[in-house]
């Protein structure tokens, strides 16, 4: 009898621990409607300051559905970016709070994303519907009043508050003056605390930037519109790199099993994805040159950029060498992918060398 009791207690303890572990889990389920050809989505999340954007996962659509789950300890802003059937990545994304313990259901319809799900996201959806209908059926002078009155009636709903806060549907100072203390000091307290009137509310995050390090000799400062355009183009590059990394990661089971049948389609994707990356790299470089910075500073910035691009392609080539050790032979798809990577690495190394020689 004692043994039986102990067994039950241990089982209950394990279940309790598992339930506690799942309290902070955040879940996304996606349904793609007919007529939408999204093949998958990239999942990113920002740090609490909404500056650094981190790649979390690449999820694949199967039978018009896909899902994702992760553990987070506090609400963070994240986003989903569509991947098209040819491997290219959409230039836009849907961005919303990732909230611990909540589940969001995303419906992709006619190029738009509709959110619903657990309590927070249902509140978000209701506030979104109210705003959409107000803008559709009323004059602008009436719309703001309708939205404001709705917020006053639903100021205790986190989903409603954050829908209007994140996209600044109403002035943030107005929102702060309306919401009760329970919401002001609740799960999203940090979002409200860090708000500074007149300060920049949103920073486009990317790891590939022309912003100088403190010790850099670069003093040229692009204008605000130029910065935004560079950040937008750099974000596309970062996303392309994340896609390529995720595609290589999908080879892991084949490498571990040393069974490479069926991998040609993956290497064909890698070839296409690198072509897309190169195109976006060239667009970024053109935008950088269009700044017409002083010659020496432009050369320094370009040299650093070429170095980063060349390193990314060179690292891929190292991966091919390791793969060859495991597989022993290479199919035409593998050879084509490696040739494309080598060619691109060589191109950026050559450009970097030209700057070094002063050409």
Note the pLDDT tens digit of each residue in 173-224.
Answer: 899 999 999 999 999 999 999 887 643 333 333 333 333 333 344 556 777 7
Average pLDDT, the chain: 81
The distance between the two most distant Cα atoms of the chain, rounded to a whole number of Å, is 86
pLDDT of 16 above 50: no
Report all structural domains of the chain as residue ranges with CATH numbers, in order of start.
Answer: 18-115 (2.60.40.1120), 122-193 (no CATH), 224-357 (no CATH)
Return the pLDDT at 40.
95
Cα Rg for the chain, rounded, in angstroms? 24
- Can you give the pTM of this predicted structure? 0.54
Strands 53-60 and 40-46, by their bridges, are: antiparallel
Alpha helices, H only, the chain: 2-22, 119-137, 140-153, 158-166, 172-178, 181-184, 189-193, 224-249, 252-257, 264-289, 295-327, 332-357
Mean pLDDT calculated for residue range 313-342: 75
Look at residue 192 and give its three-state secondary structure: helix
Locus of tokens 């394990």: 14
What would the pLDDT profile of 101-154 be if each residue is shown by its tens digit?
999 999 998 778 999 999 999 999 999 999 988 888 888 778 888 999 999 999
Mean pLDDT calculated for residue range 256-268: 79
Measured distance CA(243)–CA(41) in Å, rounded: 10
Return the pLDDT at 351.
83
Mean pLDDT calculated for residue range 7-20: 41
């Amino acid at each position: 009898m004692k043994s039986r009791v102990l067994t039950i207690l241990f089982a209950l303890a394990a279940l309790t621990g598992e339930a506690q572990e799942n309290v902070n889990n955040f879940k996304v389920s996606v349904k793609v409607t007919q007529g939408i050809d999204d093949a998958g989505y990239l999942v990113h999340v920002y740090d609490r300051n909404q500056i650094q954007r981190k790649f979390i996962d690449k999820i694949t659509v199967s039978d018009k559905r896909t899902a994702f789950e992760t553990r987070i300890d506090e609400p963070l802003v994240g986003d989903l970016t569509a991947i098209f059937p040819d491997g290219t990545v959409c230039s836009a994304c849907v961005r919303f709070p990732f909230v611990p313990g909540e589940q969001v259901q995303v419906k992709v319809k006619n190029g738009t994303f509709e959110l619903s799900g657990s309590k927070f996201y249902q509140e978000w959806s209701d506030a979104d519907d109210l705003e959409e209908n107000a803008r559709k059926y009323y004059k602008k002078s009436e719309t703001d009043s309708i939205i404001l009155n709705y917020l006053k009636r639903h100021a205790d709903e986190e989903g409603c508050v954050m829908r209007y806060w994140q996209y600044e549907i109403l002035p943030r100072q107005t929102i702060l003056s309306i919401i009760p203390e329970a919401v002001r000091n609740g799960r999203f307290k940090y979002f409200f605390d860090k708000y500074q009137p007149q300060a920049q509310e949103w920073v486009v995050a990317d790891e590939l930037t022309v912003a100088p390090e403190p010790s850099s000799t670069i003093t040229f400062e692009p204008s605000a519109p130029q910065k935004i355009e560079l950040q937008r183009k750099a974000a596309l590059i970062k996303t392309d790199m994340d896609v390529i990394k995720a595609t290589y990661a999908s080879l892991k089971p084949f490498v571990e099993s040393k069974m490479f049948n069926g991998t040609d389609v993956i290497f064909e994707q890698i070839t296409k994805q690198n072509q897309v990356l190169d195109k976006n790299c060239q667009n970024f470089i053109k935008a950088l040159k269009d700044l017409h910075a002083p010659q020496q500073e432009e050369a320094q910035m370009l040299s650093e950029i070429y170095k980063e691009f060349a390193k990314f392609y060179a690292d891929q080539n190292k991966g091919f060498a390791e793969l060859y050790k495991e597989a022993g032979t290479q199919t035409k798809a593998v050879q084509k992918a490696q040739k494309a990577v080598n060619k691109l690495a060589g191109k950026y190394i050559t450009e970097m060398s030209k700057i070094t020689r002063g050409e």
